[in-house]
Structure 1
């Protein structure tokens, strides 16, 4: 479906009345403007330069952006003749998960560039993406002129060619994971910045971590049986097999990464997911969990929600110091 055809369908029922000064005709006649705007948009999206586009270049002459989006998108597309186009965008994807976060199911239609600020693109299919309610709410009408802050466009850009999502077991926990971006060396600096920005902006570390905890709760009995039957080596092989299976479906899926992280952690494979780690030769005996980690970020001091043993706190502090924007990391006794 071309942008011009979409515009014509969505404005076809717009009427001229005594009070609207020929508004219906003005909107239908703006089809050429919408067509040119869509071509400009596609060229920029293809070149990853959407941040250079100016709202002033995507207006419909003489009609406010709010009125255009209300009539053409809300009435003409969502509630009118263009409903089939709306549904085609929502249904025209390979998977049900939101392409922005790969975490939650698609439930809403988003305008990559806001419809009121860029009204000429309000029904352009290239500017419409089905995403989840969380990402849609978080994204809102935010735009940026900084290339490093622009979210990836699902229709034109992808980070899925290489593995970049990673996780590690938080020291002292019973399997809780800290997710992070491990950018491939082949990525350009701006693309790396964009992926990191999207990861942080959409709260993916927290959202993936929560999902992995739910998965661990459901699989704990299975892991326990594997450990009893086949020992740590057998459990590790089992976890690697699960990771491989999930990677085949999505190389950067949070679930595949979770199984990989658990498999790589010796304490986990020795039973720490049950709160009882099988002692290993040379294991550190500083096991009292009475230390917390504190750090500064965005001008505020934060504190870990859980307590760690001295050894675990010592292991975790360097990881926290390595996080972007974090400074003055301290290990303190819990009060």
Structure 2
């Protein structure tokens, strides 16, 4: 879970852009008249997102009475997400917000779509609100589905506002075997509020990150097996442990809670792995 820079495009600009050039004059006028309702819904959403209280928002409070849900959703589908549409440049700019093109929700897979923090099917007024749109991989987008938060524990992780990479919460353990493996778990800091602990744990579980990270770690173990054997031949388990510790420090400097940081930290701290397990 990575924090990313919020988009510069405003909700008002995005809405006006996506509803411009509508050929049907009556429909175009209806969208224009709905601007104040959409702006109000956006203000309510952004205030709640900043305070991590999206779970308090009721659908009726963000409803737009002068337009139906299908019309609001259509401006995202056909006038923002569609290639060469009038608002496609906004879509593309939002996609580029993800560092190195990686999904901020899992920190691993490539960005391929935009995910609505509050689903457009339930909150159509926010269909083209930039701060409700997160660059994501298709797997994370699918896993989130149309779920809507019902309590503080259900509050979705919002990469534009939430930053959980200052405190260590992702841990890993070496699983002895041939070949060895790495298992991942969430251990939130005890000083975190209970709701935040639950949110991070739910995010990790809902997106099925444990097996994803375990798979990546298994490949990494295969990749480094030969070099660790060479280190062991030159300096024994101490040389292996020192190398793994340095690798953990390097990855920690980039992301405290990446699967790579957790993996190398666990490997460096496991005596069995450093002495013989790497070669199993």
Instruction: Check whether TM > 0.5.
Output: yes
Q: Indicate whether 1:189 and 2:197 are aligned.
A: no
Following the alignment from structure 1 to structure 2, what is the Cα–Cα distance between the partners of residues 138 and 123? 21
Following the alignment from structure 1 to structure 2, what is the Cα–Cα distance between the partners of residues 26 and 116? 20
Following the alignment from structure 1 to structure 2, what is the Cα–Cα distance between the partners of residues 146 and 252? 25
- What per-residue deviation string (whole Å, max 9, x for no partner) do you get for residues 161-205 of structure 1? 111111011244542011011211221110001001111111111
Superposed CA RMSD in Å reads 1.4
Out of 7, 14, 19, the position equivalent to 1:11 is 19
Q: Indicate whether 1:252 and 2:257 are aligned.
A: yes
TM-score, structure 2 normalization: 0.92
Following the alignment from structure 1 to structure 2, what is the Cα–Cα distance between the partners of residues 116 and 263? 47
| Secondary structure of 2:101's aligned partner | coil
Out of 124, 131, 140, the position equivalent to 1:135 is 140
The structure showing larger relative contact order (alpha-carbon pairs under 8 Å, at least 6 residues apart) is 2
- What per-residue deviation string (whole Å, max 9, x for no partner) do you get for residues 24-61 of structure 1? 21112211111111111010001100011111222222
Q: Indicate whether 1:52 and 2:53 are aligned.
A: no
Following the alignment from structure 2 to structure 1, what is the Cα–Cα distance between the partners of residues 242 and 66? 66
In the alignment, which residue of structure 2 is the partner of 1:77? 80
| Secondary structure of 2:125's aligned partner | helix
> Which structure would you say has the larger Rg?
1
Which range moves more in the overlay, 91-100 or 132-141? Answer: 91-100
Which range moves more in the overlay, 57-66 or 234-243? Answer: 57-66
Q: Indicate whether 1:207 and 2:215 are aligned.
A: no
In the alignment, which residue of structure 1 is the partner of 2:6? none
TM-superposed deviation, 1:16: 2.6
| Secondary structure of 1:227's aligned partner | helix
Q: Is the 8 A contact 1:227 1:271 kept in 2?
A: no
In the alignment, which residue of structure 1 is the partner of 2:44? 40
TM-score, structure 1 normalization: 0.77
In the alignment, which residue of structure 1 is the partner of 2:5? none
TM-superposed deviation, 1:116: 2.4
**Which structure is higher in helix share?**
2
Q: Indicate whether 1:2 and 2:10 are aligned.
A: yes
Alignment of structure 1 residues 82-231 onto 2, 5 Å: 82-172=87-177, 174-231=179-236
Following the alignment from structure 2 to structure 1, what is the Cα–Cα distance between the partners of residues 61 and 30? 18
Stretches of structure 1 lacking an aligned partner (at least 5 in a row): 276-335
